[in-house]
Amino acid sequence: METEIVLVDSSVNKEETYSQAVEILRNGDIVAFPTETVYGLGADATNPQAVEKIFTAKGRPSDNPLIVHVDSKESALNWVQNVPAKAIQCMDAFWPGALTIILESKPGAFAENVTANLKTVGIRVPNHRVALDLLARVNVPIAAPSANTSGKPSPTLAEHVYHDMAGIIPLILDGGQTTIGLESTVLDMTSEPPVILRPGKITKEDLELVIGTVRLSSEIQGNAPKSPGMKYIHYAPDVPVYLIENDEALVGKAIQHVQKEGKKVAVLSTADFPVADYHFPLSAETLYDSLRKCDQTDADLILATVSTAPNRSDAMMNRLEKAADHKWFS
């Protein structure tokens, strides 16, 4: 299969591009599209064969449910039931935006493989012109996980999607770099108080201003992860990642140590480390691009510089800990 990347902006043949994308989706195939968080791999959430193609394209385990995207709160409410008042408050406050809300889905609403046979669904309205235009035109809910190969860093550029999905999907809508760069906050509103299953740009504090007490799943001791995706390896480049305290002297020593063994080291940090073989910027917006760039070097090891007091509610720290499989350099 040939994979086409089409730039979608206000100028060239926008309508033609959307019609092409809508036709592909209606025919049960996949279209990758930008959101404000990361690029998504979209398919008709009511069509099990179409959804199956997403799992195959990503190599994703079938017990990890997909997030469903719709164009508005009103559309969302057609597909879910027993919606608590706090969920409506969140929709009003944060949609369109980077908040996925877990709610009870209406029986038979979605293809069973979207929700991995759960009675609940993760649903959100993305805050991105291209995504919203596409969703409004296709007029069915679109299941869309991040558009990376399962386990790899999520895509923040159309090129990242192309790297992972060339020859596998027919169309990538290119909307440039995604602005947030990390996946949406996932909030389970089927429990009381609601629980953050995945931290994101919208924080516990942001949510608490609107709906009062919210818990972090990482704080609930001895609880099996309720978000099935949390148990899998995530965001990991091929080169092994180690966390290290953001201390110039310590990082300098670590670099020397690795280089003495004849190995090359890539450093991810806010400050420049001229002695490193490679250096890439570290911020929410650049994290995944930097991890992918490390894989294009001959580095043997990645040092990601972080503060030693890991903040469990911090989205970037959450992704880095997973990319490093919680390994600290010593």
Binding residues vs Mg ion (CB under 5 A): 146
Q: Helices 85-94 and 204-211, interaxial angle, to 10°?
A: 120
Applying CB under 6 A, which part among 168-176, 221-229, 242-250, 264-272 lies near ligand TXA? 221-229
Whether 237 contacts 247, CB under 8 Å:
no
Least distance to ligand TXA from the beta carbon of 43, Å? 12
Q: Which tokens hold the place of 107?
A: 């029986």
Q: Which is nearer to ligand TXA, 244 or 291 (CB)?
A: 291
**What are the start-end ranges of the E strands in the chain?**
4-7, 31-33, 40-44, 67-69, 80-81, 99-105, 120-124, 142-143, 171-174, 185-188, 195-198, 215-216, 241-245, 265-269, 278-281, 301-306
Least distance to ligand TXA from the beta carbon of 64, Å? 5
Per CB under 6 A, which of residues 123..162 are in contact with ligand TXA? 126, 144-146
Least distance to ligand TXA from the beta carbon of 303, Å? 26
Q: Which is nearer to Mg ion, 96 or 145 (CB)?
A: 145
Using CB distances below 5 to 8 A depending on partner kind, what does residue 186 bind out of ligand TXA, Mg ion, none? ligand TXA
Q: Which tokens hold the place of 322?
A: 């997973």
Distance CA 316, CA 182 (A): 7
Q: Which tokens hold the place of 58?
A: 């990503």
Burial bucket for residue 281 (CB in 10 Å: 0-12, 13-18, 19+): middle
How far does CA 274 lie from the centroid of its chain? 31
Least distance to Mg ion from the beta carbon of 318, Å? 13
Q: Applying CB under 6 A, does 113 fall inside the site for ligand TXA?
A: no
Using CB distances below 5 to 8 A depending on partner kind, what does residue 67 bind out of ligand TXA, Mg ion, none? ligand TXA
Least distance to Mg ion from the beta carbon of 62, Å? 15
Q: Choose which of 102, 165, 189, 306 interacts with ligand TXA (CB under 6 A).
A: 102
Using CB distances below 5 to 8 A depending on partner kind, what does residue 100 bind out of Mg ion, ligand TXA, none? ligand TXA
Q: Which is nearer to ligand TXA, 67 or 255 (CB)?
A: 67
Position closest to ligand TXA via CB: 229
DSSP 227-247: SGGGGS--S--SS-EEEEES-
Nearest to residue 181, comparing CAs of 196, 163, 200, 166?
200
Using CB distances below 5 to 8 A depending on partner kind, what does residue 30 bind out of ligand TXA, Mg ion, none? none
Buried b or exposed e, range 16-25, using 16+ CB within 10 angstroms: ebbebbbebb
Q: At CA 288, angle to CA 68 and CA 219, rounded to 5?
A: 65
Q: Which is nearer to ligand TXA, 102 or 132 (CB)?
A: 102
Partners of 266 in the beta sheet?
278, 302
Q: Applying CB under 6 A, does 121 fall inside the site for ligand TXA?
A: yes
Phi, psi at 36, each rounded to 5°:
-70, -15
Q: Which is nearer to ligand TXA, 264 or 312 (CB)?
A: 312
Q: Choose which of 88, 109, 118, 168 interacts with ligand TXA (CB under 6 A).
A: 118
Q: Rg for the chain (alpha carbons), in Å?
A: 20
Q: Applying CB under 6 A, does 194 fall inside the site for ligand TXA?
A: no
Least distance to Mg ion from the beta carbon of 267, Å? 25
Residues that bind ligand TXA (CB under 6 A): 35, 37-38, 40, 64-67, 100, 102, 115, 118, 120-122, 126, 144-146, 183-184, 186, 197-198, 226-230
